[in-house]
Amino acid sequence: MHIIFDSPKQFKIELDRDDLSALDITYQQMDYNDSHTREVLQGLLKRIGLPGGFDGESGRVLIEVFPRANDGCTVQFTSLEAAPSTAIRMKKVKVETAVFEFDGVDELIDGMRAVKDAFSGAEMPREIEIYELMEKYRAIIFIDREEKRLPHILGEFARRIKKPTLAAAHTVEHGKKLGGIDAFFGA
């Protein structure tokens, strides 16, 4: 489990397959209408405690869950403006995994630069993980299902791998992780 404090009003908990297994839940099973999901989320909040400035008591809390490579997920908590009644809602974002393979480091850097140039901050893919595998480079990218530009942008620099879920699992298991897009260009 890895906790990232983005701001006083927002933080993320990254959970891997083992974390989810220990909590007896999967990304696919997460549904805030389910009592077990609510127990898991409340247990996570109790375990880590609320960071300073995060107000989950007097206002509303938006909970978003994003899939991660290798059967993990990221749970993002955002404290919303105070409202007359406290309500907690969970939004499960529909994303798909895309895997692109680059022949060399120059193509990788040019491709990541093209992605960074093509998307504004809010539109950026949810997550990009970069790996080296068998003298080539792979980018595992989590994108909103409605996003259609990314394959066209990266098509100039890389090949899109078929069966991305299997390719992502293979890459994570056998490749050397180099970082994310921020490792190349900063946050």
Domains of the chain by range and CATH? 2-92 (no CATH), 95-185 (3.30.70.1950)
Residue 148 has pLDDT above 50, yes or no: yes
Percent of the chain clearing pLDDT 90 (strictly above): 18
Percent of the chain clearing pLDDT 70 (strictly above): 76
Q: Which residues pair with 77 in a beta bridge?
A: 11, 63
Q: CB neighbours of 119 closer than 8 A, spacing ≥ 6?
A: 125
Q: CB neighbours of 95 closer than 8 A, spacing ≥ 6?
A: 66, 67, 126, 142, 143, 144, 145
CB 15 within 8 A of CB 73: yes
End-to-end Cα, the chain, rounded Å:
22
Q: What is the mean pLDDT of residues 4-25?
A: 87
CA distance 96 to 87: 29
Closest CA to 66 of 105, 33, 39, 97: 97
Residue 106 has pLDDT above 90, yes or no: yes
Determine the 3-state secondary structure of 117 from DSSP.
Answer: helix
Q: Give residue 83's pLDDT.
A: 47
Q: What angle do CA 119, 122, 128 make, to 5 degrees?
A: 65
Q: pLDDT tens digits, residue range 30-46?
A: 887 788 888 888 888 77
Q: pTM of the full predicted structure?
A: 0.51
pLDDT grade for 70, boundaries at 50, 70 and 90:
confident
